[in-house]
Amino acid sequence: MGFDRRDFFKTMCVAGITLAAGKSFGEATSGKEPVEFQGMLYDSTRCLGCRACERVCAKAHNLPEPQDELKAGVLRKTSETQRSVINNFITSKGEVFARKSCMHCNEPACTAACLTEAMYKTKEGPVIWRGEKCMGCRYCMVSCPFDVPKFEFHSNNPKIQKCDLCYDRIKEGKLPACAEACPGDALTFGTRRELIAEARKRIFENPKDYVNQIYGEEVAGGTGLLYLAPAPFSELGFNPKLQTSSYPALTKGFLYSVPSVDVLLPPLLLAIYEATKTNQKDEDNE
């Protein structure tokens, strides 16, 4: 009987390994196309500050058209009614426009935070929000180092508002609404690899026009949105304290300890329980 059972397990194991191996071989040979993240390059030196991008963004996502004025030195923020903003900063290089929207990180803190995968990094690159999954806990907002997700605090059916890089348009092969509308060619849509190459080229060809940094190449483990600017990014409303490694990496140690503790602690506790219980019986017998 025992022998049979052992044989049975052996067979199961072999079958299991074959299945598992077979599957991984299958995946390797089926040759999935490597998908590259797409992103957008914002070149501050080309931005006219016309805010066409803001208006088409509002229109594309059924949000009210922004009415407030753009003034030099007055910071405007993205909000639950405005997914992207243009600001005019007074810097050491004079007045400089800078845009702010979701950075579409390679390893987003918001998607790592989301317990229902409502905040989701698509394989194409954009980070999107899926309302049918979201429970409105706002942990994405707590976690995002760029403070991007915005919550409709004054709604009884609140949504998270954030730039989704016009994911629906991208899937149809169109450009994001802002990139299409930009008259100054300040917004370039493409794969992240191409955009970095393009940004390098621009810095190389016109070194005097730019600081020698592509913001987004390294910050937070790399982002889908890339920035070129004539002035240091710390003067353009970017937080200089942010780390270059990814934010989800900060929780890795804890997450890895969870299965270990869940598996190892119960037998240890059971062992202590059994050990103290035996002592107890001995005492009673005495």
Partner 1 sequence: MNNKPQPNYRDNEGTPYFSFFLSELKPKGKIFTLFNVISVPVILLGIALIILRFWKGLGAITNLSQDVPWGLWIGFDVVTGVAFAGGAYVLTFMVYILNMKKYKSIVRVTVLNGFLAYAFYTGALLLDLGRPWNVVNPIIGNNFGASSVLFLVAWHFLLYMLAELFEFSPAIAEWLGARKAARILSGLTVGAVILGITLSSLHQSGLGALYLMCKDKIHPLWYSEFLPILFLVSSVFAGLSMVIFEGSISQKVFNDQISAEHRKEHDNVVHGLSKVCALAMFAYLFLQFLVFIHGEHWELLNTGMGHWFLLEMLGFVLVPMILFFYSYRKYNLMAVRIAAILTMIGIILNRLNVTVIGFRWDAAVRYVPSWMEIVVTFAVIFTELWIFRWIVRRMPVLRNSPVWAQESGH
CA max distance for the chain: 93
* Cβ pair 215, 229 in contact under 8 A: yes
Q: Is residue 251 near partner 1 by the rule CB under 8 A?
A: yes
Pick the stretch among 81-89, 95-103, 177-185, 237-245 that binds partner 1 (CB under 8 A).
237-245
**Calpha distance 14→9 (Å, rounded):** 9
Q: Name the residue nearer to partner 1 (CB basis): 144 or 229.
A: 144
Selected from 61, 124, 145, 184, the binder of partner 1 by CB under 8 A is 145
What minimum distance in Å lies between the beta carbon of 191 and partner 1?
A: 25
- 24 phi, psi to nearest 5 deg: -70, -35
Q: Is residue 262 near partner 1 by the rule CB under 8 A?
A: yes
Selected from 150, 162, 192, 202, the binder of partner 1 by CB under 8 A is 150
3-state secondary structure the chain: CHHHHHHHHHHHHHHHHHHHHHHHHHHHHHCCCCCCCEEEEEEHHHCCCCCHHHHHHHHHCCCCCCCCCCCECCCCCCECCECCEEEEEEECCEEEEEEECCCCECCCHHHHHCCCCCEEECCCCCEEECCCCCCCCCHHHHHCCCCCCEECCCCCCCCEECCCCCHHHHHCCCCCHHHHHCCCCCEEEEEHHHHHHHHHHHHHHCCCCCCCCCECCCHHHCECEEEECCCCHHHHCCCCCCCCCCCHHHHHHHHHHHHHHHHHHHHHHHHHHHHHHHHHHHHHHC
Q: Is residue 248 near partner 1 by the rule CB under 8 A?
A: yes
Selected from 15, 17, 72, 115, the binder of partner 1 by CB under 8 A is 115
Name residues whose C-beta falls within 8 Å of residue 219's C-beta, 6 or more positions apart in sequence: 242, 243, 244
Q: Is residue 63 near partner 1 by the rule CB under 8 A?
A: no
Selected from 141, 209, 218, 237, the binder of partner 1 by CB under 8 A is 141
Selected from 7, 117, 168, 185, the binder of partner 1 by CB under 8 A is 117
Q: Name the residue nearer to partner 1 (CB basis): 162 or 202.
A: 162
Pick the stretch among 156-164, 174-182, 201-209, 222-230 that binds partner 1 (CB under 8 A).
156-164
Q: Is residue 73 near partner 1 by the rule CB under 8 A?
A: no
What minimum distance in Å lies between the beta carbon of 262 and partner 1?
A: 6
Selected from 43, 54, 80, 164, the binder of partner 1 by CB under 8 A is 80
Q: Is residue 11 near partner 1 by the rule CB under 8 A?
A: no
Q: Name the residue nearer to partner 1 (CB basis): 88 or 143.
A: 143
Selected from 5, 32, 154, 208, the binder of partner 1 by CB under 8 A is 154
Selected from 50, 63, 70, 137, the binder of partner 1 by CB under 8 A is 137
Q: Name the residue nearer to partner 1 (CB basis): 25 or 273.
A: 273
Q: Name the residue nearer to partner 1 (CB basis): 85 or 182.
A: 85
